[in-house]
Structure 1
C-alpha cells in the first residue's frame, strides 16, 4: 500500500498577524556558574570525518542531556568517564554535580570513538552509549536529585562501530518490559562513487525482558536498519513502539539484509531510470517525428517488424530485447510513415503528424525507455523567445516601475538549500512508509520534549514564524498537531549566523538560542503590559509586548551543551556549567 500524502494543518488561532517585534529588555537575569572538577568528554572530529553529515551528527552534538521526567535535572559525561547530574531546586544553593554512574570502559583508549550519549525512556530507566560502540541499558531507580539514585547495568552489548543514541521509549507489552532504541551511525560507503563516500544508518533495536524467576535479564529481540544519505533532522519512535517518524533532507529506506533493500524510494528509482541508457532517441518538427533505434551488428530488414496505425505504433527486433508498443500521443498519417536502416547501423522511423504544428510532449504514452533530443533550430527559436526575460546585468534598470528580480537583494533567511525535506512515518511491522509530509520550504529549527509520555515536538519555520508541532500517531492522517507559535522567530533566528543550539521551554513560555561562543538570546512570548503603550505609526494602543533578552557568559570557551526547562537555561562549556534563571514558576 502506498504511503498517504499528508499536510500539516496550521491552527490559525495560534497565529498573531498583528505581531510587531521583540523589544529588547535590559532587565538582568541571574546567572550562576559552576566550575567542573574534570573537563567535559568532548570528542573532536578526525581527519576522516570530513563530511557535513559528520559535522551534524558529531561536530554539533549537544553534550548536555535534559531529563524530561524531572524538571531542572541535566546530565553530562566528563573525561573520567563519569556521568554527572545537576538537579536544581534552589539557585542560590547550587552544589557540585553528583556522580551517578561511571562507564566501565576507558573511552579515551578508543581512537575511533564518538561522543558518549544517553536518553531517558522512562522515569527509572536510561539508555547510554559510551561512544566506542557499546550500548548500556541501565535501571536508574528514582532520579531527580534523589540521594538514593544508583544506576545499575541491566544489559550491555558491543554493537560494532561507534554510534550515538538518538531516541528511546519504554513500555510494557504482554507483561514483558520492552525498551526500543534508535541508534545513529555515519558509515563508509565504498559503493558511493558520486557522493560523499558515506551513508547514514538508523538502527531500531528492541530489547525485552526475559521471564526468569531467579534473575531479571534482558536480550535483543529485534534489530532493523534504515539507510539514508543525510543525517535526519528529527527521528523518534512512537510511545508504544508501533511506528517511527523521520524528518530528513534525503529519504531513508529499510535494509532487510546485507546489501538488499525491501523497498526502493521513488527518488532512487527515478535516478536509476535517468542513469540507464535510452533504448531510442526521438526528435520532432512541426510536420513529423523521427525515432532512432540502435541495431546490433549484422541486423537486416528481415529482423524488423514495424506496424503503423493512426493512433498506435509497435516495433519488434529479432535477436534484441527491444520492444516498443503502445498508443501514440497524437494521430499520425500511418500510410505516409516509413522506416529504414541507415549506414550508421541504426533504424530510423519517420512518423508523419496528422495535425501539423502540434508539438508532442511524449512519443508513446507512458513509455520511459526513450530520450527526447531537441533539434538545434528549435533550441535557437526558444532561446530567442526568452531573450527579453534575461539579461547579463543583475538589475539593468533599477529605476523602472517593476525592476527585475535581483538575487543579491535576497536575505539569508530567504534562501533554503534543503527544499525537499520530508517527514515520514514508518510502520514497525512492515518498515514501510505509511504517511509522508513534504515539508518544502518549512525549515527545520529544533526539537524539544514538551511531555515525556509523548514523542518529542519539532519546530518548523512557516513564513516568518516558528511553529511547534506535537506528533500523535493515534490521530491518523492528522497525527501532527500545531500546539504553539513563536512569532517572527523563524525570521529572527535566520540572522544569527553563529547560532549553534536552539530550543524552547517545555511550556512554550520562551525560546532560546546560543551562539558558538558566549552569547545567549532569549525570546519570550507576548505578555500584557502594566503601562499604556501606543504604536507610533498607527496610533493604536499596544496591550502586549514580547521581550528579547541577551546574556553574555563570562567565558571564552565554546558552548558544548544547551538545555531549557520552564524556569532555567543550562549552558555547558568544557570547564563550566552555567545556570540562568529565566522564569519564576510558583
Structure 2
C-alpha cells in the first residue's frame, strides 16, 4: 500500500499584507544574567574531531546543529488559572566529564541555579570510533532518558527535594543495531526522540513503556532508494533510523501531572539492566532534523530534505543499474503507469521551477518516425510503434490520454530521441511555475507513482545526449525544431545546505513491516526554517499529555507556523482521499511570522532558529555573537513589530552551543566551557 499524499495548505487569512518591518530595540543589562554551568567543573565542552576523522558531510552538519542544552518536562501555560500542573522549570546539560547538570530557574528571584546531579559512566570505545553527542530527552514529568552518545541509554528519575532537583539512575538499556548482532564492534547512535507511555493493561505490574528513536550510519554503505541531492560524495552515506521500545516495571507518572514532588529520593543503587526491542528501522540519506512521537503512541513524524524507506524493502545494490538506457529495468510491461509489476521504475523524471523532464528507455535503433507524442493541456499521449522484427527485452511505453499531475503549456513542450542509446526524453513546460509536482501523472490514475530523481548526476548522461541535439542539427531527431529546445537542467552546486530546500514530512507507524510509512507530504515549495521550543502542556479534554512541536516553514518572505495533528487509531485505506490521509497526518496553518523567511536568510552565521510555542517570538541564535528576537503579536496584523538584539559574547570570543526556553519569555543561551550560560528575560 502506497503512502497517502498530504498537502501543506496555507490559510491566507493569516497573512499580513500591511506589514512594513521591524523596529530595532535592545535588552537592558538588568534583564541579562550570567551563570556558571557545572562549576567547579569544566562546563559543557564540545569534543573536537581530529583532522583524520572520516565523517560524511551529513554527519558533520548534524554535529554543528546539535543543541547541547536540553529541556525538562516544562510547561509555560496555565489552564483556567490552575498553576498546579506547572513544575519548577529545569534544563539539562552534560559536561565534559559526563556529569548531568540541572539548570533550575527560580521564579521568585529570577535567577538561574546550576547543580551537578549525577555522573553517567564514561563510554569506552576504540580510538577510531567517534561518538555522537550526549543527549537528554524528557520522557515524562518525573523521568528523563540520557544517551551517552555511544550505545547506552540511562533512565533517570528526577524529583524535587526541598527546593532543588535530585536525580537517580534507575535503569540502563543498550542499543545494538540488528545488522551488528554478530559483530564485536558496537555502533554509536544518536538519540532523536523519546517518550514514556502507560504500559499495556496485560502487564503484570504497573509501569511504563519507553519508546525511543535513534539514528546511526549504516556501515556497508549501500545505495539508498533515493540519492542525496546535496553532495556526490554523500550518495553512499546511508543513515538508519530505528524505533525501539523498553519497559520499566513499577514506574509511574508517564503523562500529565508529575507524582509527589516532595518525596525523598531513594539512595542510589545499581541500575536495572533493561532489554529493548527494535520495532522497525527505516533508511535514508540524511539525519532527520525533525522527529516527534505522537501522544497517542501510534507512530511518529519525521522531517528531512529526503525521504525514507523501510529497511525491510529490498536494497538497491547500485542505483545506476535501473537507470541505464536500454536496460531491462527500464521496460514498461503494461500500459497503466501504476501497474508495472517490476520493482524497477518504468521511467525516471526530475523537475525545476519551470519544467519537467521525463526519460523512457526504448529499444535501441528506434527512429523518430516510430514516435507518436501529443501534448495536451493536462494530458499526455505517447505511443512507440515498433516493427515486429525488433528484438529487444525493452517494451515500448504506451500512454493513452494519461492525465497529468498539473497543467502544462503544450506549445512549449518537446520530445527528443537518442537512437543509439534508446533514450526518449519528454520536456514539459509547467503552466504554473514554482509548483512542485509530487508525481508525473494524476493521483487518481497513478496509484503507485515513480519518485522524482533528485540527484543531478543521474541525469548527466541524458543531458549530454540532449546537448548534442542542440549543437549538431544533422543528428537531431526532435519532435519540433531543435533550435527551440529549452535547456533541460542546470548543474547543481556540490554543497547545498538544508536552507532553501523543500522539506518532506512522513508519518511512520509504530509497528513492523514494509508499509510502515503511511503518509508523506506532497511538494508545495515549503522550505524548513525551524521548530518550536519544547513545551509540555497537558490537554485533558483531548486526553493528550503533550503535543508535537509546531514547525515553521518558509513561504515567500514569511514564516508559516503549522501544528501537526494525528487522529488516534487512523489507518490508511486503498485509494485514500486527502481527508482520510489527513486523519493520519494533518498540517494546520496556525500563525504567520511576518517577513521571517526574509530576515533569517540574511543571518549567515545562525546556528539555531526556534520559535515560542505560544507564537510570541522567534529566536535566531548566531554561533558566536548575537541573538535576534523577532516579536509577533498573535491575532493582530500590525504594520510594525519589534526586533530585539542581544550581544551574548560581551566582547569575548565564545562559541554558542545551546538554546532553550526555561520559562514564559525566559531564554537561556549556553556557551562552551567556562563561559557558562546567559539568561535573557525577554518580557
Asked if TM exceeds 0.5, the reply is yes
Q: Provide the rounded CA distance (Å) in 2 between the counterparts of 1:70 and 1:420.
A: 31
Matched, 1:88 2:105: yes
Q: CA deviation at 1:420?
A: 4.8
Q: CA deviation at 1:443?
A: 1.3
Aligned partners of 1:520 and 1:551 also within 8 Å? yes
Q: CA deviation at 1:524?
A: 0.9
Paired residue for 1:569? 667
Q: 1:469 to 1:580 in 2, by over 3 A?
A: same
Q: Provide the rounded CA distance (Å) in 2 between the counterparts of 1:500 and 1:323.
A: 50
- Give the counterpart of 1:480 among 568, 583, 587: 587
Paired residue for 1:424? 506
Aligned partners of 1:465 and 1:491 also within 8 Å? yes
Matched, 1:124 2:207: no
Q: Provide the rounded CA distance (Å) in 2 between the counterparts of 1:74 and 1:562.
A: 10
- 1:462-515 CA-to-partner distances (Å, cap 9, x unmatched) read 111111222111161662222222111111100101111111222221111111
Paired residue for 1:454? 547
- Give the counterpart of 2:198 among 167, 172, 188: 172
Matched, 1:140 2:196: no
Aligned partners of 1:509 and 1:524 also within 8 Å? yes
Q: Provide the rounded CA distance (Å) in 1 between the counterparts of 2:93 and 2:27.
A: 30
Correspondence list, 1:65-104, <5 A: 65-70=70-75, 72-90=89-107, 94=111, 96-104=113-121
Q: Provide the rounded CA distance (Å) in 1 between the counterparts of 2:3 and 2:669.
A: 41
- Give the counterpart of 1:284 among 361, 367, 376: 367
- Give the counterpart of 1:376 among 468, 472, 475: 475
- Give the counterpart of 2:655 among 548, 554, 558: 558
- Give the counterpart of 2:242 among 178, 203, 217: 203
Q: Provide the rounded CA distance (Å) in 1 between the counterparts of 2:159 and 2:619.
A: 31
Matched, 1:51 2:56: yes
Q: 1:569 to 1:109 in 2, by over 3 A?
A: farther
Structure with higher RCO (Cα < 8 A, 6+ apart): 2
Structure 1-normalised TM-score?
Answer: 0.71
Q: Provide the rounded CA distance (Å) in 2 between the counterparts of 1:382 and 1:233.
A: 47
Correspondence list, 1:530-545, <5 A: 545=640
Paired residue for 1:305? none
Paired residue for 2:45? 41
Q: Which runs of 5+ in 1 are unaligned?
A: 292-309, 331-345, 349-365, 391-412, 530-541
- 56-65 vs 194-203, which moves further: 194-203
For this pair of structures, how many residues does the alignment match?
481
Q: CA deviation at 1:232?
A: 1.4
Correspondence list, 1:145-160, <5 A: 146-147=163-164, 149-157=166-174, 159=176, 160=186
Paired residue for 2:606? 499
Q: CA deviation at 1:209?
A: 3.5
Aligned partners of 1:77 and 1:83 also within 8 Å? yes
Q: Provide the rounded CA distance (Å) in 1 between the counterparts of 2:305 and 2:384.
A: 43
Aligned partners of 1:122 and 1:170 also within 8 Å? yes
Q: Which runs of 5+ in 2 are unaligned?
A: 77-88, 177-185, 252-270, 329-362, 373-382, 402-419, 423-445, 451-461, 489-495, 538-545, 568-581
Correspondence list, 1:263-302, <5 A: 273-275=322-324, 277-278=326-327, 280-285=363-368, 288-289=369-370
Q: Provide the rounded CA distance (Å) in 2 between the counterparts of 1:211 and 1:24.
A: 54
Larger Rg: 1
- Give the counterpart of 1:162 among 181, 188, 193: 188
Aligned partners of 1:312 and 1:327 also within 8 Å? no
Q: CA deviation at 1:124?
A: 1.1
Q: Provide the rounded CA distance (Å) in 2 between the counterparts of 1:5 and 1:282.
A: 39
More strand by share: 1
Q: CA deviation at 1:571?
A: 0.7
Q: Secondary structure of the residue that 1:492 maps to in structure 2?
A: helix
Q: CA deviation at 1:114?
A: 2.2
